[in-house]
Structure 1
Amino acid sequence: MALSGLFLVLFLAQHFTINFTSVIAPDTFNELSHFMGTNFLVQAVLQPVLIFGVCFHFIMGFVLEIHNRKARAISYVKYNGSANSSWMSRNMIYSGAVILAFLALHFYDFWVPELVHKYVQSHPEDPTRYYEETIAKFESPVRTGLYVISFIFLMLHLLHGFASSFQSVGWNNKYSKGIQGFTKAFAIIIPLGFIFIAVFHYINNL
């Protein structure tokens, strides 16, 4: 669970880096998107690994939640979860479920149309199409709002999950405090960055 989470964090950082270029350099965004969409290694190797990682992480999340609920089958006289754990840690299953729903929307918005464009409609390659196709997704205030809400839940999920991943793999040394600070900064900055991208394109579409 921890290792798959760390793997997905790496993908998240890479995904954000490419998407942010759509704000500052549309031509660069087109170039990077075209490379990611046509490179054999990315499409035939990295993409299947990513899909497997996403599926594995979420399946394990639900399995662990069921296991934990069974382990707590005996009722306590008094239970005060907030005294020993944060809201994020106690509700990872719910933030994860929202993120999973968002991924379904994101695949519907971007991945499925990309497959249709390349393999069903058989359009010729157009390295300049990605920017216009991306910003068109943020014309709707409803869809933009759903993206913003999803990234807020992603932030909550990362605030606990990213840091705890290092603990789960046994990373406990003199660098632990620095890692805690880095993971918290990452968990806040990256989702806020995605929110900025979505809102920026929505405003530009007005």
Structure 2
Amino acid sequence: MGGLIKSSVAKKFAMALSGLFLVLFLGQHFVINFTSVISPDTFNELSHFMGTNFLVQALLQPILIFGVIFHFVMGFVLEIRNRNARAVNYVSYNGAANSSWMSRNMIWSGLAILAFLALHFYDFWVPELVHKYVQSHPEDATRYYGETIAKFESPVRTGLYVVAFVFLMLHLLHGFSSSFQSIGWNNKYSKGIRNFTVAYAIIIPLGFIFIALFHYINNL
């Protein structure tokens, strides 16, 4: 059992599960954010629920943070192991012939996403903690929309968000479909799963880019 846990297969399986969990959260996050384009009131209601619900704050949020940390740490561990393995077999290894550009550069797209998450936490999560627990403001269920669109007044910040979601798209184009392979979902539905993951990897990041540009243009 100990050897299984330490094996590359087990690590890839665990990383795949954490990746699928994060993809699920990404879709939910997109749905809520997209309502800011359609209905500010709906966006405020959903954001207020997510920001005040006990189960979300006390259970789901810590699990999400753990999932993010676990996924990136495991990614670095596997990348180091793969690089060491390639160093041993460097004579016969041809990365360009054996894998796609996206699969060979997952570590770089992952680092770009990690940098974006640091900015995103600084923009939204940290101010939310300060608002609720440091400054102890009274509850205001209508504040979320105004606080969100204010973040997209700056062309630099908006540009960083757009670039980050391009890297997210590149990361998902390989990572989402490979997650299903890592957990053993190679069957007659593989082509359908592949098509779905490609569509998801393109549509969701483009949707986030649209939201950022929409609010930036409206702020002009």
Superposition TM-score, scaled by structure 2 size: 0.92
Letter in 1 for 2:152: F
Q: Which residue of 2 aligns with 1:44?
A: 58
Q: Which residue of 2 aligns with 1:177?
A: 191
Match of 1:122 among 127, 130, 136: 136
1:139-192 CA-partner distances (Å, limit 9, x unpaired): 000000000000000000000000000000000111111000000000000000
Q: Is the 8 A contact 2:86 2:93 kept in 1?
A: no
Letter in 2 for 1:175: Y
Give unmatched runs, 5+ long, in structure 1.
none
Q: Is the 8 A contact 2:165 2:208 kept in 1?
A: yes
Q: Which residue of 2 aligns with 1:53?
A: 67
Give me the whole-angstrom Cα distance separating, in 1, the residues matched to 2:16 and 2:130.
34
Q: Give, in angstroms, the shift of residue 83 of structure 1.
A: 1.7
Q: Give, in angstroms, the shift of residue 78 of structure 1.
A: 6.2
Match of 1:105 among 99, 109, 119: 119
How many residues align? The count is: 206
Give me the whole-angstrom Cα distance separating, in 1, the residues matched to 2:163 and 2:199.
19
Q: Is the 8 A contact 2:173 2:197 kept in 1?
A: yes
RMSD: 0.9
Q: Give, in angstroms, the shift of residue 70 of structure 1.
A: 1.0
Match of 2:100 among 86, 103, 111: 86
Q: Give, in angstroms, the shift of residue 77 of structure 1.
A: 3.8
Q: What SS is found at the alignment partner of 1:72? A: helix
Give me the whole-angstrom Cα distance separating, in 2, the residues matched to 1:79 and 1:168.
22
- Structure 1 stretches of 4+ with a deviation exceeding 6 A read none
Superposition TM-score, scaled by structure 1 size: 0.98
Q: What SS is found at the alignment partner of 1:44? A: helix
Identical aligned residues as a percent = 86
Q: After the TM superposition, which residues 24-39 of structure 1 pair with which residues of structure 2 at under 5 Å, given as runs?
A: 24-39=38-53
1:101-130 CA-partner distances (Å, limit 9, x unpaired): 000000000000000000000000000000
Q: Is the 8 A contact 2:32 2:43 kept in 1?
A: yes
Q: Give, in angstroms, the shift of residue 80 of structure 1.
A: 3.2
1:3 is the counterpart of 2:22: no
Q: Give, in angstroms, the shift of residue 79 of structure 1.
A: 4.5
